[in-house]
Structure 1
Amino acid sequence: MLLLRPTPPASMKIARQFLAVGPILKSGHSAANRRGCLRCFSGVGNAALGKKYRAVVVGAGPAGTAVVGNLLEQKQAPILWVDDEFHGGRLDNNTKVKRFVSYAEGVSPFREIFKETPEPNAYSHLKSLEQENTCYIAQAADLCVMLTKGLDQSKGVYKQLGRVSDASLSETSGWTVRLNPSGDKNAGPTEVSSDIMVLCTGAAPSSGPLPVSDIQEIGLDPALKPSLLQTIIPSDSPITVAVIGASHSAILVLRNLYNLGRSTHPQLRIKWFTRHPLRYAEERDGWILRDNTGLKGDVAIWAKENLEEDRLPASDVSRYLEKVPTTRDKEEAVYKEHLPACTHVVQAIGFTRNEIPALKRQGKELEIKYDNTAGGFEDKDGKKVKGLYAAGIAWPERVVDPEGNVEYAVGLAKFMNYLKRVVPNWNAN
């Protein structure tokens, strides 16, 4: 279990790449566009003051959506669903189509939405694709938006645009949850009561300190989106981008930069800093080695053909990319030597949990430990925290493969499988 205080975010290294659809879209939204987006989600409004809910779900990414679906499957309604955007959250960019379909078909409330929605729709489109291939992130995003829209008041789901600032647990009356609504400038803080609260608060790309100051950092999310990346990097002057990391996301960034270098940005060069050889997911007899941390799909193929020690020198990629091996002990010295020659840097070094609401029990600050086998929490003394649960990229299931390797299961289908196992046991006691 992991002990954490409610206020500071805790770091978590996750090699699988999730692409933030919401934040990327937000950067280009006008006020009018945002209002139009809010109108598309039926049921988004102000939480009823004093209303008692069976559950409050904090976060509307893929895990939050799956939590709502599983709670409805278990007849746990009404549900108050709180998010500041309802845009679909951070989506896996390394998944076969069939995994998205498996997620979509995981619970009956989702399947009902597909039956109610005229075709063609996001689900029918995914079903029409080659199931063993990966798909564009926008296609998966359309699916999540479709599900978010369909989980409405007719199914016992009440959406609230805003954030949960804090929550207090009473041993006798459950959770009192304080909301800060957004989208209505006249709406003040609101308190609601709930039997249980589920944190699906997500994570954001980590960024560590570097021993240089005159360097421009490019966020991981825009670096993973070629259309944004090409607008950030000048095309008419010499540019050297440092990429730190060797995860799936790091390799995607390298490929994006290489594609810019050989096309619209001929003066672009790359320095790739990596601590270890590339690691690949490997099919075994009925299971996958490095299922959550290894390179997969077309990214794995590209890496094997262009980045391995015996392939890079002869690859066209070597015209643009220099590999800079490093180790944890020598990293700072290597950075001091090489980073001054770089104009930009992308850090693909994992994810950090987003801040969670301030939590109290009986008026006292609550420190919590996540149980990543059952989805619940204990306090610092090992006592169960009643009615508090979590899931998603910030709160993944701990899994052990047949060879004894420990990983954390991150991916839409994995979230769904985990929740189908644990949600039937979630209660207020």
Structure 2
Amino acid sequence: MRFKSAVIGAGPTGICAVGHLLDLKLHPILWIDPCFNSGRLSSYQNVPSNTKVKLFIEFALNCNTFKEIASQNDDVLNALLATDQDSGCYYDKRYKTIKTDKGNVRSMNLSENWCIEIEGSGQKYYCDSAILATGSHPRESRQSPSETHHEITSIHLDVALDPERLGQIITEDDTVAVVGSSHSAILVLKNLSQTTSCKSILNFYREELKFAEYKDGWILYDNTGLKGQAATWARNELSKVQKIKRIKLPKEKNKEKEVYLAHLRGCTKIVYAIGFERNPLPIISVNDRVCREISYNPKNGQISDENGPLDNCFGFGIAFPEKTIDPMGNVEYAVGLFR
């Protein structure tokens, strides 16, 4: 069977893409994901969002297909409507999916159309257009502070963002380092100070805290500033927690090592909250020639290789964020769910 459209990934972006494709009647649609559990979002059920509830509802009702689904099942929508519309909420809802094919995409080859091959089974599907909604994962440090002459255990960001899981692995003898100053880093500091008995906390950061500011019809630092519970806690509580020591890293990269060595000697565990990076992509080729350099247009999402744009192939979501410029000229990349 030949498909009009293929969507790779079933996180929020994949769900949104399928909804809009159905609105536009660009079907039949092939939808591929190994789990169909709303992507990485399902890992953050105990994480407060930095998106207001009313914006989640706007996202959910952003296309006619979603409106129709909501009209047939009021339970989830009513739960959101009953929540404070200006607050954040917890990512504890599962998205219902349509008929799908489970699996990981091994490769995509463009000739007359796109041929998508599934890993393992070798199943091949043919489609006119392809949308990559493949998501991202927490970035790991490219350098190790192991030269402090003792073992420092690294805690995955997903664990550190979950108060219950974090509390199970932190003891009163631990000194925990947190690298970063963004939304995730602040939530980790909050979790460490409120739900664990650790001895002390070190926060290494490069940039000063930045808070989103709600203007008339737009938001200053919309994508880079702190919002929600993270912003409230950072403003009101961070400076009051005596066991948190904040350490500013020097601008010169070659001097960072000295700072780490000076402060990490008593550290037992470390969390890197330094952003997210794109998940590995399938092998992408054109007429069986493997594309070596994959990039995208940050305005319309079109995927390119070293020879130029690839026909009918687009990337969206946190892996391929839209470039935005606010009224003050600040350039950011839109990664929030509402985007």
| TM-score normalised by length of structure 2 | 0.92
Map 1:118-267 to 2 at 5 A: 119=74, 121-138=75-92, 142=93, 145-146=94-95, 148-149=96-97, 152=98, 158-170=99-111, 173-180=112-119, 188-208=121-141, 209-212=143-146, 214-234=151-171, 237-261=172-196, 265=197, 267=198
Deviation per residue, 1:185-205 (Å, 9 max, x gap): xxx220010101111110000
Map 1:195-344 to 2 at 5 A: 195-208=128-141, 209-212=143-146, 214-234=151-171, 237-261=172-196, 265=197, 267-307=198-238, 312=239, 315=240, 317-318=241-242, 320-329=243-252, 330-344=255-269
Aligned residue type for 1:393: I
Aligned residue type for 1:249: S
Q: Aligned residue for 1:74?
A: 24
2: distance between equivalents of 1:238 and 1:368?
Answer: 46
Check if 1:113 corresponds to 2:44: no
Q: Contact between 1:353 and 1:394, CA under 8 Å: does it hold in 2?
A: yes
Which structure carries more helix by proportion?
1
SS of equivalent residue, structure 2 residue 233: helix
2: distance between equivalents of 1:195 and 1:82?
Answer: 15
1: distance between equivalents of 2:332 and 2:183?
Answer: 15
Aligned residue type for 1:211: P
2: distance between equivalents of 1:99 and 1:59?
Answer: 22
SS of equivalent residue, structure 1 residue 103: helix
2: distance between equivalents of 1:379 and 1:87?
Answer: 30
Check if 1:63 corresponds to 2:4: no
1:287 deviates by: 1.4
Q: Contact between 1:212 and 1:336, CA under 8 Å: does it hold in 2?
A: no
Aligned residue type for 1:358: I
Aligned residue type for 1:239: D
Q: Aligned residue for 1:16?
A: none
1: distance between equivalents of 2:26 and 2:118?
Answer: 21
Percent identical residues: 40
2: distance between equivalents of 1:87 and 1:379?
Answer: 30
1:371 deviates by: 0.6
Is there any run of 5+ residues in structure 1 with no aligned partner, and where?
1-50, 153-157, 182-187, 415-429
Q: Aligned residue for 2:45?
A: none
2: distance between equivalents of 1:161 and 1:282?
Answer: 41
Q: CA RMSD in A?
A: 1.5
Q: Aligned residue for 1:398?
A: 323
Q: Aligned residue for 1:373?
A: 299
1:337 deviates by: 1.4
Q: Aligned residue for 1:52?
A: 2
Is there any run of 5+ residues in structure 2 with no aligned partner, and where?
42-47
Q: Contact between 1:62 and 1:90, CA under 8 Å: does it hold in 2?
A: no
Deviation per residue, 1:317-342 (Å, 9 max, x gap): 11x21111212323221111112211
1: distance between equivalents of 2:325 and 2:20?
Answer: 24
SS of equivalent residue, structure 1 residue 413: coil
